[in-house]
Chains A and B, each alone.
Chain A
């Protein structure tokens, strides 16, 4: 009984940490225009739209976060061998990982922007100076939460994987969940805020991203401000649910129903989520209704 109670506590804590990590991850990637929306930031100068958006294309978010989290976990693991102090080890690991992340961000911005010289896109070095610390701060939150979560899994839930491997596994999952949920919101709603709401961006408008703010010029900090309103928390809930339900179904049900309990509960959860999804799709079709051709012509 006691182990079950401890297990549930760890599960809840891991879920909460994952939620924070997901929110920070998505905000970080949106401030840096990482992931798929990056293509538009890259495309804009080619279409004649010079901008001051932070363009840090390290790679897709899943491999990038796979590295940051594995690195944080690996360095923490190495320090655990020497220091035997988890809190200190995890923080030091996260700091090393964030240092690497920051350098990758700077080199990515410089490289991409310098290679766009043909389209007269200058390197705005103040963008690097002002926004790299912001992305590093968000990345620190994401990495620290993920590594702590992995430590809890390894130490208290006795998962067979070693800490660095858990960091790699959950880092890739974090990047996958965050980029899947957050990218459309940043890509469509923020980069193309000048386009119609409730419709996709016409392919002909590609590259015409919003470059000016309400007053002055849009900086990527504005993008972080915008995406924390929805995409960040949504990514957080997504990753938090993944971690929480994955642990919850195993901790509580793995010995039930001839040890098939966790599998059956997992299947039931999938069916429930599928039904919710079907309802959402139906709701959107009946509420929004089909597009009318006449209105479309004006866009």
Chain B
């Protein structure tokens, strides 16, 4: 099953030189934002928030991107072998499954912001939306495995479920790497959906908070007219950020992962740093949309 995995990869370690350059890029992005905020944007644009209004959203976007990268690693995805009962996990692609959960959460979060205008309710609500999507999906996956295929859950990477204490080797059918969705993977799926949707909603909300006042000022139109523009731009950019971060995380995972107990999970710091840097750069450019030239 590793016809594609033949290329040289850096193992599980961290490339310190690359990481240092990445963090430098991240800091430069924040510095540029700070400079924009201080000098290039006319005073009074963000009211009393003058002085923090761009840097704080950018930091929010960076945190959101890192959360997406972190969350994707929890999602148990088995890819093609899972569809044949040859490997545990959900039988689909990691980036897109996470995107499905994250966008379902983004839907809930955007709605919650519309009615409550409360920061914490919005992002937690968005996260719960993603977690709920994964909870239902993972349950249906398990129902399919157990009742339609007659296959009990067995992990291929560990001998014992860290949460329930179930043992796996005797439940693994011959010639496979395990199958089904053990409870630890279920837990990972829910946590992953929650974190990814939390990050996605955070990115959306921070962008919205920049675009709403920014576009009002830039276009000289009132808040009601600018709302659909701000929501649509923030929404599509949030999806763009989500896809970039999810695909970068999928590259880090190289295809399949069983959940938080998988040895590949040790690679997660790389993805967090990578996603944070990517979000910093993309966030800076996205914020430039409302900066007058």
Direct contact of A and B (CB under 8 A): yes
Binding site for B on A (CB under 8 A): 35-40, 60-63, 157-162, 165-166, 168-170, 172-173, 175-177, 179-189, 191-192, 196-206, 230-231, 234-235, 237-238, 241-242, 245-246, 249-250, 254-255, 259-260, 262-263, 266-267, 269-270, 273-274, 276-278, 280-281, 283-285, 288, 290-291, 293, 296-297, 299
B83 contact from A187, A202, A255, Cβ within 8 A: A187
- Which residues of the other chain, A, contact B103 by a CB distance below 8 angstroms? 168-169, 172-173
A160 to B204, CA, bound (A): 12
List 19 A-B residue pairs with CB atoms under 8 Å apart, sorted by A's residue number.
A36-B92, A38-B80, A161-B235, A170-B107, A172-B99, A173-B100, A173-B101, A179-B91, A184-B84, A184-B141, A187-B91, A199-B173, A200-B173, A201-B85, A234-B144, A246-B104, A250-B112, A277-B181, A284-B146
Which residue from B125, B141, B148, B152 sits with its C-beta under 8 Å from A285?
Answer: B152
Asked if residues A199 and B232 are in contact (CB atoms below 8 Å), the reply is no
Using Cβ atoms and an 8 Å threshold, which residues of chain B touch A161?
107, 110, 231-232, 235
B110 and A202 contacting across the interface, CB-CB below 8 Å: no
With a cutoff of 8 Å between Cβ atoms, the chain B residues found around residue A242 in the complex are 104, 132-133, 136-137
Partner of A276, one of B139, B174, B175, B228: B139
B186 touches A (CB below 8 Å): yes
Knowing A246-B108, A266-B128 touch, does A168 contact B152 (C-beta < 8 A)?
no
Give B235-248 as 1s and 0s: 1 = Cβ < 8 Å from A's Cβ atoms: 11001000000000
B113 CB to nearest A CB, Å: 8
A165-B232, A203-B1, A276-B139 are contacts. A181–B144 as well, Cβ < 8 Å? yes
Chain B residues in the interface with A (C-beta under 8 A): 1, 79-86, 90-93, 96-97, 99-101, 103-104, 106-108, 110-116, 118, 121, 124-125, 128-129, 131-133, 135-153, 164, 166, 170-183, 186-187, 190, 227-228, 231-232, 235-236, 239
Cβ 8 A contact of A162, one of B131, B137, B228: B228
Most chain B CB within 10 A, of A166, A181, A245, A270, is at A181
**Majority-rule SS of B interface residues:** helix
Please state if A200 and B96 are interface contacts (CB–CB under 8 Å): no
Instruction: Say whether B84 contacts A296, CB under 8 Å.
Output: no
Q: How far is the CB of A247 from chain B (nearest CB, A)?
A: 9
Which chain A positions have C-beta within 8 A of B147? Answer: 280
Choose one: A40, A185, A199; the contact of B174 (CB below 8 Å): A199
Given contacts A160-B114, A270-B131, contact A188 B84 (CB under 8 A): yes
Contact of B187 among A157, A246, A274 (CB under 8 A): A274
Q: Which residues of A contact B107 (CB under 8 A)?
A: 159, 161, 166, 169-170, 246
Given known pairs A160-B110, A176-B99, A254-B115, the reply for A246 and B83 (CB within 8 Å) is no
Known A-B contacts A160-B110, A262-B112; the reply to A180 vs B137 at CB < 8 A is yes
Q: Is the CB of A284 within 8 A of B112?
A: no
4 A-B pairs besides A180-B97, A235-B140 with CB distance below 8 A are A60-B96, A169-B107, A175-B96, A280-B147
Q: Is the CB of A37 within 8 A of B99?
A: no
Most-contacted residue by chain B among A199, A288, A290 (CB, 10 A): A199
Q: Of residues B107, B116, B150, which shows the largest number of chain A Cβ atoms within 10 Å of its Cβ?
A: B107
Q: Which residues of B contact A191 (CB under 8 A)?
A: 84
- Nearest chain B residue, comparing its CB with the CB of A191: B84
